Chains A and B, each alone.
Chain A
Amino acid sequence: MTAAAPVHVEIPPGLARPGRRGRRARRLLAPALFVLPAVVFVGATVVYPLLYSVLQSFFDVGLREVVQGGARWAGLDNYVDQFGRSRFWYSFFISIVYAAGSVVLTFAAGLGLALLLRRAFRGRNVLRALILIAWVLPTVVSANVWRWLLDGSYGLLNAALRAVGLLEGDLFWLGRPVTAIAAVVVATAWSFAPFAMILLSAGLEGISRTLYEAARIDGASPWQQFRYITRPQLRPVALAALLLIFIYTFKTFDTIFLMTAGGPGGATTTLPVYAYNEAFEFSRFDTAAVATTVLMVVPIVLSVAYFRTLRKENA
């Protein structure tokens, strides 16, 4: 047996084992390349339109400028103009009322459902699936169903109220300011409560059952268990849920537009509806951009406040 002759292989420069600096560069580049598609996608579909919209709010943009270009720089003129208009602030106020009402109702319904479905009972999974239908249903369907339910002459709600003697004649729920805003709040809460339920159910599942066992042994009532165990333990999830519900409702357009189109008399003209009208009905794309920028700033401010609170609590 003869010993094998040593073989000398020439390694091409590109495949040579990189030096320390090269290894470090590759280590840094690899993750960046992995995230690049996501960054490009988000940049094209989120950052670009968002920046474009914000930028548009600083230009004088009407239909002519959209078509022909050449928009004039307006600085803060559009903001000064809009912030000086009562209709803008009225829409902002309506947005806050609508979002606050929807958040409270959605959260309460979501928490109630989550607590109910935490208990073991026959048909629980079927009930959970049925509840989720409200969330899965396309808004165009649910909003039109609500319109029909609330119709003054032929609506199911009025028929039920007449049947039990609580109503005589017609009551046009969507034709009066207070009932119209209440109706869109209820419709929004109805469709979004299942989402809140899912979030809060996850939060409830995270609470150790031993805490409840210990409390029961110590003689705590169900209310005391809720107050001293469930409420504090659920707080981080509840805060996140409240923030998400607020962001969702503050920017909601479809439900309101389909149910009332902002009426009656502007009573449900929230900022998204206001922005839509400014841009697509009245061709004022610059002032619409001011409204959408405000629409974006409010949830961002709340989100920052939320994360600061979390950081403080975790510190």
Chain B
Amino acid sequence: MSRESSVRRTASVLTVLTAAVSLAACGSLGGGTSEDEDDGDGVITFWHYYGDAHGVPLQAMLDKYSDESGVEVEARFIPFDDFNRTLQQAAAAGTLPDIALINAFDTTQMAEAGIIEDLTPYAEEWGEQDAYYETGWESGQVDGATYAIPHLADVYALYYNEDVLAEADVEVPETWDELEAAATKITQSDAAPNGLAMSGIEGAEGATGVLLRTLAAGGDLADFGGEAGVAALESMQRMTESGGLSEGFLTWNEDDAMAAFTNGEAGMAINSASAINVIRESAPDLAWSVAPLPEDVTEATFLSAENLTIGAGSGDADAAWDLIEWMQQPSELEEYLPARNKLPARDDVPGAVTDPERATFADQLVNAWAPNGDMAARSNEALTLVQQALQSVISGAASPTDAAADTQAAIDEAMGS
């Protein structure tokens, strides 16, 4: 055997060995987890995705709890885009936090994956579920068990620039037809470059506007291919064609849309209550107000919420629950929510919605829609598909009817997977 072939053979053996070790390491695919309970060291680890200014009121609240109870709370901020992935990795590694503040619509998925604890015994003993708005409370229920407690809520409403509407001589719209007409008139009268601003960006975030229109038309995410979904897509198409809604909304996220409104480049905007403080701080001289979302067949808005959960295998579950319970006291929420710029998830916190703008949002909480059941677990995908339908229609790649039908087929496929 030549020297070269010997070396080659040795290298091959090493490679095969490496591969074998790799495969052996693969073992049964996936992680292995949560049997490793944490040590129950009495320190409550608390993961959240409230960055910058949003994190300040939360940290103040946690500090207050530590001062009062003497329990150390270790908060960790993880950016929203990385939050679920980090939580999943922590679950696979058995290093979950004691408390995770998650997007409400991820609750089902997290519960089914075994990432969060069943809180039913705690919740039943606590007995305050009746204080919560039904849609929000339902977002924490999975197969009849309580896996999450609503932390706060938010809904969408219509912001309008009073000066722009006066200049264009339009009234605050109360129906979607009036909204379309008002948006067109604002643009055509040059009162503002855009009649309406909202997010239409790629992904679930950009589906909010078309979903709100679908809900108002009596539809739902699960039956988007029906008349309501087609009507919603046609409405968006009409508004972009008339110039009332810039085609550029397909590249806007919610912050971009609010920036356009705050800068006076849009006469109206659809957004959540989170934007209230932003406008007050960045455009103190702007004459603006908020109206409930326009109606069509029905009056509906979309719930945006966050839930408090306990990580699977937490060794400090009792202490974590004590903190959750403390955070949900109306007296604490009254102090926290206005600073956090959000709405209460329960209806016994009147002090959190004393200003008229915030009250307009709070009044809509009873009409708030949220995905539930199997749709909750697949809502991110379904909303992404709805946004793609919107893009197809606006770009002229598909008619509203075809886009809605294709989306329905894709949603059905996703729900079946």
Binding site for B on A (CB under 8 A): 27-29, 31-32, 35-36, 39-40, 42-43, 47-48, 51-52, 55-56, 59, 61-71, 85, 87, 147, 151-153, 170, 172, 174-177, 260-267, 277, 280-284
Contact = CB atoms under 8 A, between A and B. Distances in A.
9 closest A-B pairs by CB: A43-B18, A265-B392, A265-B391, A261-B202, A264-B391, A263-B202, A48-B22, A71-B29, A63-B113
A182 to B, nearest CB: 13
B7 A66 contact: no
Nearest to A179: B395
A170 B22 contact: no
Given A68-B30, A265-B398, A281 B22 contact: no
Contacts of A27: 3
A68 B34 contact: yes
Contact of B246 (A32, A36, A68, A170): A170
A105 to B, nearest CB: 23
B248 interface: yes
B11 A262 contact: no
B53 interface: no
B329 interface: no
B147 to A, nearest CB: 14
A262 B202 contact: yes
Contacts of A35: 11, 14
Contacts of A67: 30-31, 33-34, 88, 91-92, 113-115
Interface of B: 3, 6-7, 10-11, 14-15, 18-19, 21-23, 25-26, 28-34, 85, 88, 91-92, 109, 112-115, 193, 201-203, 246-248, 250-251, 378, 380-381, 384, 388-392, 394-398, 410, 413-414, 417
Nearest to B249: A175
A300 to B, nearest CB: 16
Given A35-B14, A170-B248, A175-B395, 11 more contacts: A36-B14, A39-B11, A42-B18, A43-B18, A51-B26, A64-B112, A67-B115, A69-B32, A152-B247, A175-B247, A175-B248
Nearest to B387: A263
Contact of A175 (B32, B85, B394, B410): B394
Nearest to A29: B10
A173 to B, nearest CB: 10
A172 to B, nearest CB: 5
A172 B247 contact: yes
Contacts of B384: 277, 281
Nearest to B109: A63
A170 B114 contact: no
A20 B14 CA distance: 24
A284 B381 CA distance: 11
A153 B32 CA distance: 50
A32 B202 contact: no
Contacts of B34: 67-68
Interface-centre pick from A40, A260, A265 (highest chain B CB count, 10 A): A265
Given A67-B88, A67-B92, A284 B29 contact: no
B33 A264 contact: no
Contacts of A62: 113
13 contacts: A39-B14, A47-B15, A66-B30, A67-B88, A67-B91, A70-B30, A85-B413, A152-B251, A153-B193, A172-B248, A175-B248, A266-B388, A282-B414
A284 B377 CA distance: 12
A66 B92 contact: yes
B251 A28 contact: no
Contacts of B392: 264-266
Contacts of B398: 265
B410 A87 contact: yes
Nearest to B396: A176
B51 to A, nearest CB: 18
B7 A28 contact: yes
Contacts of B388: 263, 265-266
Contacts of B202: 260-264
Given A264-B395, A282-B380, A68 B18 contact: no
Contacts of A55: 23, 26, 29
Nearest to B112: A64
A281 B382 CA distance: 11
A147 B31 CA distance: 38
Interface-centre pick from B21, B115, B388, B389 (highest chain A CB count, 10 A): B388
B33 A28 contact: no
A62 B10 CA distance: 39
Contact of B391 (A32, A52, A263): A263
A260 B23 CA distance: 37
A210 to B, nearest CB: 36
Interface-centre pick from A59, A69, A147 (highest chain B CB count, 10 A): A69
B109 A43 contact: no
Contacts of A42: 18
A28 B10 contact: yes
B3 A263 contact: no
A38 B18 CA distance: 11
A141 B410 CA distance: 34
Contacts of A263: 202, 250, 388, 391
Contacts of A40: 18
Contact of A51 (B23, B109, B410): B23
Contacts of A284: 417
Given A39-B18, A47-B22, A61 B248 contact: no
